[in-house]
Amino acid sequence: MDIKDILLHDETIFKDINAFNPDYVPENYKYRDSQMESLAICIRPALKEGRPVNAVILGSCATGKTTAIKKIFEMVENSSEQVICCYINCQLHITRFGIFSQIYNKIFGHYPPETGVPFSRIYQKIMQYLQSEKKALIIALDDVNYLFHSKNANKIFYDVLRAYEEFPGVRTGIFAVLSDIEFRHTLDKNVNSVFIPQEIVFSPYTRNQMFDILKERVKIGFYPNVISDEILEQITDYASENGDLRIGIDLLRISGNRAEAEASRNVKVKHLGEALKSSGPLNLINILKSLSKPEYELLEMISNADEEFLRAGELYEVFKKKNKSSYSSFNRILEKLEFLRLIDTKFTGKGIRGNSRLIILRFSQKEINKCMALL
């Protein structure tokens, strides 16, 4: 097929390509009844003029946490006007203003102006509305660990959960979502005693559960007979070995695309092979496998650092203690990590000691740690 045919060929093997989008919320959401029930129990008091119960939602990646929240929030909003449910992705919104702008938009249908209005006015308007309308507010802070970097978590939790002190009668609750059990402790450290949550755990899916979920997605996303059970078994193996259902969903989409680009009516082993080669998370594992011990250790230090932007000089001080290496070999390792596109480095004039180099992890800490755990 030539390029024009690839672009314009109008037959498709996808019945609904959106079924493979990251934000797709599946109609049929299996294996999570007990977690959905626990969420409902936390919300229930709010429907009866009480206070919602705070919760922390724990589970490794792609165990359905975000989906559960979105589903339960939709159910609540369809059944009652007395509870406002606001979903916030903390990877996108990390400041107090950013988060309260989302809440403001949810309530009033538009964002507050970005300049000229003090935070306290926005906060007041939200809380006065909840007070006068006697509505409860539940906020889901998804991937809440992103607030730890900016050290905003405590303030935001306080703003939300102690609102009743300034605005008597206001009923608020937080669902905090964490994808790494290690963050559990950091959360306690970051938000003190204002947040005493119920824990809801999303355990990893078994291989059979993954197969079943992926099969269901195939039925929604592809026309019949596009993906054989044999291919699906292989895709499930990859997902299950990596402990990540999302890898399976991505592989379905990418190998489908490959097949379609060749005008094939079904996905063949070869298309899956090509998809595997181009699939990010699996590539990352291969790159990590190729690192030497000091390279690996340095990456680990960068990935586990508390700060989002590290300075090379400060990092060297820590690295030196463990590896006794010279600055130039430290520098070579940094260059190699940059060459492998694991990190970016950027010169800045803002260092205390003149010119300083910032190190920025190109992958999320979560992704790196997940892949490291698999090595």
Ligand X SMILES: Nc1ncnc2c1ncn2[C@@H]1O[C@H](COP(=O)(O)OP(=O)(O)OP(=O)(O)O)[C@@H](O)[C@H]1O
| Token code pair at residue 39 | 């969420």
Q: What residues form DSSP beta bridges with 359?
A: 310, 345
Closest CB to Mg ion among residues 19, 68 = 68
| Token code pair at residue 129 | 């509305």
> Contact positions toward ligand X, by CB under 6 A?
24, 26, 29-32, 59, 61-67, 179, 213, 245-246, 249
Q: Is the dihedral of CA 89, 95, 96, 101 positive or negative?
A: negative
Closest CB to ligand X among residues 26, 45 = 26
Question: Dihedral angle at the C-alpha atoms of 244, 246, 248, 251, nearest 10 degrees?
Answer: -130
Closest CB to ligand X among residues 246, 268 = 246
Q: Which does 63 bind (CB under 5 to 8 A by kind): Mg ion, ligand X, none?
A: ligand X
Q: Which does 32 bind (CB under 5 to 8 A by kind): ligand X, Mg ion, none?
A: ligand X
The least distance separating Mg ion from the CB of residue 179, rounded to whole angstroms, comes to 7
Closest CB to ligand X among residues 24, 158 = 24
Show Cβ contacts of residue 279 under 8 Å, excluding neighbours closer than 6 positions: 247, 250, 251, 254
> Contact positions toward Mg ion, by CB under 5 A?
66
Closest CB to ligand X among residues 12, 18 = 18
- Nearest residue by C-beta to Mg ion? 66
Cα 352 to Cα 35: distance, rounded to the nearest angstrom: 49
Report the 10 Å Cβ neighbour count for 362.
14
The least distance separating ligand X from the CB of residue 332, rounded to whole angstroms, comes to 34
Q: Which does 26 bind (CB under 5 to 8 A by kind): ligand X, Mg ion, none?
A: ligand X
The least distance separating ligand X from the CB of residue 177, rounded to whole angstroms, comes to 7
Closest CB to ligand X among residues 29, 164 = 29
The least distance separating Mg ion from the CB of residue 149, rounded to whole angstroms, comes to 18
The least distance separating ligand X from the CB of residue 247, rounded to whole angstroms, comes to 10
Report the 10 Å Cβ neighbour count for 13.
20
CB-CB contact of 336 with 295 (8 Å): yes
Report the 10 Å Cβ neighbour count for 23.
9
Q: Which helix (H) or strand (E) holds 248?
A: helix 245-261
The least distance separating Mg ion from the CB of residue 305, rounded to whole angstroms, comes to 23
